Structure 1
Amino acid sequence: MTLKKILFIALSTLLFIVMTAIVWHTSNPLPPIYPDGPATLIKASDNRTLRSFGDKQGVHRYHATLAEVSPFYLQALLHYEDRWFYHHYGVNPFSLLRAAGQWIKHGRVISGGSTITMQVARLIDPHARTISGKLHQIARAVQLEWYFSKEEILTFYLNLAPFGGNIEGIAAASNRYFGKAPLQLTKNEAALLVVLPQKPSRYRPDRFPTKAEAMRNKVLKRLYQGTLLDSEQYRLLIKERVNLHADKQPLLAPLLARYLKQRYPHKHKLRTTIDYSLQKRLSILLHQTSQRLPHKASAALVILHNPSAQIRAYQGSVNFRDASRFAHVDMVRATRSPGSTLKPFIYAQALDLGLIHSKSLLSDIPADFDGYKPQNLNGAFSGPVSAQHALQKSLNVPTIQLLNRITPLRFEQNLERAGIHLSHQQANLSVGLGGTGTQLLTLAKLYRSLASEGHIAPLNVLKDVPNKSTSVQILSPQSSWITFKMLSAQSAPDRVVPSVRRQIAWKTGTSYGYRDFWAVGVSHDYTVAVWVGRPDASPMLGYLGATQAAPLMFDAFDLLPPDQRLLTQPTSVTNTLICWPSGLALEHIPNNRCESQHHALTINHMTPPSMDIYGDFTTNMSWPEKLAHWLKNKHINNSAAALHNSSQPAPNYSIAITSLRNGQHYYRSQLSTLTLTSTHPAQVSWFVNHEPITEPQIKLSQYLGETTVSACIDAQCDKQTIYIHP
Structure 2
Amino acid sequence: MMRARWIFGLAAGLILAAAGRDRFDDWIDATALPSLVLETSVEVTDRNGALVRAYTVADGRWRLQADLADVDPRYIAMLLTYEDRRFYDHGGVDLQAMARAVAQALWNGRVVSGGSTLTMQVARLLEDGTTGQMGGKLRQMRVALKLERELTKDQILSLYLLLAPFGGNLEGVRAASLSYFGKEPLRLTPAEAALLVAIPQSPESRRPDRAADRAEAARDRVLARAVTFDLLEPEEATAALREPVPGVRKPFPAHAPHLADRARAEDPAAREHHLTIDLSLQKKLEELAVQAVTGKGNQLQIAMVVADHRSGEILASVGSAGFKADARQGFVDMTTALRSPGSTLKPLVYGLAFDQGLAHPETLVDDRPMTFGTYAPQNFDRQYRGEIRVREALQLSLNIPVVALTDALGPAKLLSAMGKGGMRYALPGDQPGLAVALGGVGVTLQDMVQLYAALARGGVALPLTWRMEGDRAEGQRLISAVAAWQVGDILAGLAPPPGAPQNRLAYKTGTSYGHRDAWAIGYDGAHVIGVWMGRADGTPVPGAFGAEVAAPVLFQAFSRLKLRLDPQPPAPAATLLVSNAQLPQPLQRFRPRNGAFVAENAPAVVFPPDGAEVELLARGLKVKVEGGKAPFTWMVDGTPAATASSDRETLLSLNGTGFVTVVVIDAEGRSARSRVRVW
**TM-score clears 0.5:** yes
Q: Match for 1:114: what amino acid?
A: S
Q: Match for 1:451: what amino acid?
A: A
Q: Name the CA distance, whole Å, in 2 between partners of 1:111 and 1:632.
A: 99
The alpha-carbon deviation at position 251 of structure 1 amounts to: 4.7
Among candidates 444, 454, 458, match of residue 449 of structure 2: 444
> Counterpart in 2 of 1:335?
338
Change (3 A) 1:246 1:142: closer
Q: Name the CA distance, whole Å, in 1 between partners of 2:367 and 2:491.
A: 19
Checking the alignment, whether the CA contact within 8 Å between 2:178 and 2:250 is kept in structure 1 is no
SS at match of 1:519: strand
Describe the superposition over 1:552-593 as per-residue Cα deviations: whole angstroms up to 9, x where unpaired: 2223233334623562211211322224xxxxx36x66xxxx
Q: Give 1:66-465 correspondences, 5 Å limit.
A: 66-101=68-103, 111-128=113-130, 129-242=132-245, 251-321=254-324, 323-424=326-427, 425-462=430-467, 464-465=468-469
Q: Which moved more, 1:111-120 or 1:161-170?
A: 111-120
The alpha-carbon deviation at position 196 of structure 1 amounts to: 1.4
The answer to whether structure 1 residue 516 and structure 2 residue 508 are counterparts is no
Q: Name the CA distance, whole Å, in 2 between partners of 1:292 and 1:38.
A: 41
Q: Which moved more, 1:402-411 or 1:480-489?
A: 402-411
The answer to whether structure 1 residue 545 and structure 2 residue 546 are counterparts is yes
The alpha-carbon deviation at position 426 of structure 1 amounts to: 4.5
Q: Name the CA distance, whole Å, in 2 between partners of 1:433 and 1:258.
A: 33
Q: Name the CA distance, whole Å, in 1 between partners of 2:126 and 2:183.
A: 27
The alpha-carbon deviation at position 457 of structure 1 amounts to: 2.2
> Counterpart in 2 of 1:472?
476
Change (3 A) 1:366 1:52: same
Q: Match for 1:193: what amino acid?
A: L
Q: Name the CA distance, whole Å, in 2 between partners of 1:294 and 1:18.
A: 73
The alpha-carbon deviation at position 280 of structure 1 amounts to: 3.1
Q: Name the CA distance, whole Å, in 2 between partners of 1:519 and 1:322.
A: 26
Describe the superposition over 1:566-622 as per-residue Cα deviations: whole angstroms up to 9, x where unpaired: 62211211322224xxxxx36x66xxxxxxxxxxxxxxxxx636443226xxxxxxx
Change (3 A) 1:507 1:238: closer
Q: Name the CA distance, whole Å, in 2 between partners of 1:18 and 1:388.
A: 88
The alpha-carbon deviation at position 301 of structure 1 amounts to: 1.4
> Counterpart in 2 of 1:502?
503
Q: Name the CA distance, whole Å, in 2 between partners of 1:396 and 1:558.
A: 31
Q: Name the CA distance, whole Å, in 1 between partners of 2:591 and 2:212.
A: 81
RMSD: 3.2
Q: Name the CA distance, whole Å, in 1 between partners of 2:24 and 2:528.
A: 71
Q: What is the aligned residue count?
A: 594
Among candidates 605, 608, 630, match of residue 587 of structure 2: 608
Q: Match for 2:530: what amino acid?
A: A
Change (3 A) 1:434 1:236: closer
Checking the alignment, whether the CA contact within 8 Å between 2:45 and 2:52 is kept in structure 1 is yes
Change (3 A) 1:451 1:307: same
TM-score normalised by structure 1 residue count:
0.75
Checking the alignment, whether the CA contact within 8 Å between 2:520 and 2:546 is kept in structure 1 is yes
The alpha-carbon deviation at position 56 of structure 1 amounts to: 1.6
The alpha-carbon deviation at position 9 of structure 1 amounts to: 5.4
Q: Which moved more, 1:236-245 or 1:378-387?
A: 236-245
Change (3 A) 1:386 1:233: closer
> Counterpart in 2 of 1:534?
535
Change (3 A) 1:480 1:238: same
Change (3 A) 1:41 1:15: closer
Q: Give 1:665-704 correspondences, 5 Å limit.
A: none
Q: Name the CA distance, whole Å, in 1 between partners of 2:89 and 2:360.
A: 81
Q: Match for 1:514: what amino acid?
A: H
The alpha-carbon deviation at position 79 of structure 1 amounts to: 1.6
SS at match of 2:297: coil
SS at match of 1:508: strand
Change (3 A) 1:108 1:200: same
Change (3 A) 1:177 1:572: same
Checking the alignment, whether the CA contact within 8 Å between 1:337 and 1:437 is kept in structure 2 is yes
Q: Name the CA distance, whole Å, in 1 between partners of 2:600 and 2:389.
A: 16
> Counterpart in 2 of 1:493?
497
Checking the alignment, whether the CA contact within 8 Å between 2:209 and 2:248 is kept in structure 1 is no
TM-score normalised by structure 2 residue count:
0.79
Q: Give 1:594-605 correspondences, 5 Å limit.
A: none
Change (3 A) 1:40 1:448: same
Q: Match for 1:473: what amino acid?
A: R
SS at match of 2:44: strand
Checking the alignment, whether the CA contact within 8 Å between 1:408 and 1:431 is kept in structure 2 is yes
Q: Name the CA distance, whole Å, in 1 between partners of 2:108 and 2:353.
A: 92
Q: Which moved more, 1:54-63 or 1:270-279?
A: 270-279
Q: Which moved more, 1:192-201 or 1:251-260?
A: 251-260
Checking the alignment, whether the CA contact within 8 Å between 2:503 and 2:558 is kept in structure 1 is no
Q: Name the CA distance, whole Å, in 2 between partners of 1:197 and 1:362.
A: 77
SS at match of 1:553: helix
Which ranges of structure 2 fall in alignment gaps of 5 or more residues?
604-626, 628-679
Q: Match for 1:54: what amino acid?
A: T
The alpha-carbon deviation at position 292 of structure 1 amounts to: 3.3
The alpha-carbon deviation at position 312 of structure 1 amounts to: 2.8
Change (3 A) 1:632 1:124: closer
Change (3 A) 1:353 1:113: same
Q: Match for 1:448: what amino acid?
A: A
Change (3 A) 1:385 1:194: same
Q: Name the CA distance, whole Å, in 2 between partners of 1:18 and 1:505.
A: 76
Q: Name the CA distance, whole Å, in 2 between partners of 1:88 and 1:244.
A: 38
Q: Name the CA distance, whole Å, in 2 between partners of 1:550 and 1:239.
A: 50
Checking the alignment, whether the CA contact within 8 Å between 2:426 and 2:443 is kept in structure 1 is yes
Change (3 A) 1:295 1:175: closer
Q: Give 1:575-590 correspondences, 5 Å limit.
A: 575-579=577-581, 585=582
Q: Name the CA distance, whole Å, in 2 between partners of 1:380 and 1:70.
A: 68
Change (3 A) 1:267 1:99: farther
Checking the alignment, whether the CA contact within 8 Å between 1:300 and 1:316 is kept in structure 2 is yes
Change (3 A) 1:570 1:122: same
Checking the alignment, whether the CA contact within 8 Å between 1:506 and 1:520 is kept in structure 2 is yes
> Counterpart in 2 of 1:655?
none
SS at match of 1:377: coil
> Counterpart in 1 of 2:622?
none
Describe the superposition over 1:23-76 as per-residue Cα deviations: whole angstroms up to 9, x where unpaired: x53xx3432441xx3213434455554433222222122212211211111111
Q: Match for 1:454: what amino acid?
A: G
> Counterpart in 2 of 1:661?
none
Among candidates 61, 64, 72, match of residue 62 of structure 1: 64
Q: Match for 2:141: what amino acid?
A: I
Q: Which moved more, 1:505-514 or 1:94-103?
A: 94-103
Q: Name the CA distance, whole Å, in 2 between partners of 1:223 and 1:373.
A: 83
> Counterpart in 2 of 1:51?
53
The alpha-carbon deviation at position 6 of structure 1 amounts to: 5.5
